[in-house]
Structure 1
Amino acid sequence: MSTILVTGGTGTLGVPLVERLRALGHEVRVLSRRSPTHPVDLREGTGLDAAMAGAEVVVHCASAPRGGDDVAAGHLIRAARRSGTVTNVVYVSIVGVDVVPLGYYRTKLAVERLLEGSGLGFTILRTTQFHDLLARVVGAAAKLPVVPLPSGVRVQPIAVEEVADRLAELAVPTPAGRVPDLGGPEVRTLAQWGRVYLAATGGRRRVVPLPLAGKAYAGFRRGGNLAPGRAVGRITFEEFLARRDRTGA
């Protein structure tokens, strides 16, 4: 079994990933600023050398949509090189980061490029959007008198548990490079997903497809965020919503 570091280990993806890795018998170090055992600030790079000591694998799940992922990744990569023991840095990215010119996507692509040029062994997995994100987007719009959603934008959501399963498989000392993308089981427009959400939550508002402008919007309309040939996920958005309703999560 390996010693594995997980950044973002207390987040939406990190929690189920850590559970899976520990169930497999790995020693898992969850990095965070408030960790009693491995206090690390990725933005500043503090605490990384101590946390990295003796580790073989790093799974990098931490992300900040407001910016700074490239800075954090640079600190992580340099610490991994200094450790002399890390043989595989596993990074979860997003389908479409190289074709949809969204600021957050560009930063994710920059992190991929940093890993590719780092001299370290690496594994990059791109996934489609999580069910959780789709639910937040549609749920926020559903609070308005009508439900405005970008027209013509298709989404292929995937269950975070299935992403965690795949990352647990990839979190081994041998790097795999860029691996096949991971996509959810269904592709529908945001307007269609909005109606699914309303039906599941008892909402009665009208969904209004809203045309937008800009290069990022055009990239989404072209389907740059989709992986229809890799629709390997099995848990549907309806199943996610039903489970959320049962558990209150």
Structure 2
Amino acid sequence: MTPVVVPAIIADVKKVEVVVAHHQCATLRVGDVFLKIDADQTRTDVEVEAMARAPIPTPEILWRKPPVLALAALPGKALGRLGEPSAASPAAWAAAGAAVRKLHDAPLPPWPGRTAGEIAPGLDRECEWLVANDVLPAGLVTRNRQVAEAALRPWTPVFTHGDLQISHVFADGDQITGVIDWSEASRGDALHDLAILTLGHEGHLADVVAGYGTGVDLDVIRAWWSLRSLMAIRWLVEHGFDPFLPGCEVDVLRSQM
């Protein structure tokens, strides 16, 4: 096997931080460089192409040597994390909404995304699994499946990030400095992006909407909160994450009751 030659830009750094790691991919931080290692290079292809097309700030690509993609760290810090209060200002949240609007107004990427009809069977499978394995009470799952139905309607596709968690949006003061993790970018539902950005942070939804502008159906936002949480729990459990932590996916589902 040919060894990977580490560029001099990170060769002298001694500390390696594991940002996230599971059997599909891993992200390491080495100084001011993030190394994304992905077994599926099609996801990396999408990420690179999406960042090139996005009209909002994204990390600088330093180099790519499959299966590794090296990205420069963004200035500032993430808006927050799921399950923790956000220290970002209302103005920063509004700026995030404005950045998302700019993305959604951009030309569509050439590759498609999933339709409501393609999402629904997977949602039903996850709901059945949650109940059959006694992960969640049947009433909680049934109620959130009903709420989620509002998201499964036809939508006009826009350029979506696809996984716009608050930990993927960086700000310095009240200014957005960039958005990371574009491997799920596609043509999709604009309200899905807004829902993922505000998942578990309902108190900042008004700020985001103020920055985003018109065309926001709050019932559909809430529907996506339920849908995302129902579909994420099995994956999170199987990959060593805890959706039962305060403020995380299970609490989001309970809040919908």
TM-score (norm 2): 0.28
Q: Considering fraction of residues, name the structure with more helix.
A: 2
Greater relative CO (CA pairs within 8 A, separation 6+): 2
TM-score (norm 1): 0.29
